[in-house]
Structure 1
Amino acid sequence: MRVVVVRSGGFAGIEQRGESDSASDPILARLVDRVDFGSVPPPGRIPDQFLYEIDIDGRRTTVGEAQLGGPLRELVHHVLGRAR
């Protein structure tokens, strides 16, 4: 399983990208199993907020910083943290 997260927006508009694969990241599958794409709210219209584009094996969603919570937040921080 492959997960790609792209964070864009914010005041400076700097993009950050992270990618992880369950073959080399044993925690990834457990985090993905907890995410419910059906409950992800659409991004709100908040100036200068970060937007997170999340792709899990071709299933994509975009969520705003204010709506990013719970298991989805954990997944995003995990994938972006591995990119550093």
Structure 2
Amino acid sequence: MFLTVSRSGGFAGLTAGGELDTATEPDAERLEAVAVRLVEQPPGTGRPQPDRYVYRLEIDGAAVVVAEQDLDADAAWLFDRVLGND
């Protein structure tokens, strides 16, 4: 599965992006399960708040927008992995 994540917003309005092919990852099953869950059952409203990040996840032609305040631990982990922050 090919994951694409973009992050925008925050205090400085910075943007970041990353891509990850789960086929080459040892924890591919967990990555894919979290990604599918986010797309099928998006958490929260997706509405941004001032000075907070907004994430966009794309997989297999589907996309979901998740506001920072709506992230759970699994979603935060996934976004960090794809953005290369872990």
Change (3 A) 1:76 1:28: farther
1:75 aligned partner: 78
The aligned residue for residue 43 of structure 1 is: 46
Higher helix share: 2
Residues matched between the structures, number: 83
**Percent same amino acid among aligned pairs?**
35
Root-mean-square deviation (CA), in Å? 2.0
Native 8 Å contact 1:7 1:53 kept in 2: yes
Cα gap change, 1:33 to 1:73, in 2 (>3 Å)? same
Unaligned runs of 5+ in 1: none
Runs of 4+ in 1 over 6 A off after TM superposition: none
Counterpart position of 1:28 = 28
Matched residue, 1:66: 69
What TM-score comes out, normalization by structure 1 length? Answer: 0.81
Q: How far off its partner does 1:46 sit?
A: 1.3
- Matched position secondary structure for 1:61: strand
Structure 2: distance between partners of 1:12 and 1:29: 34
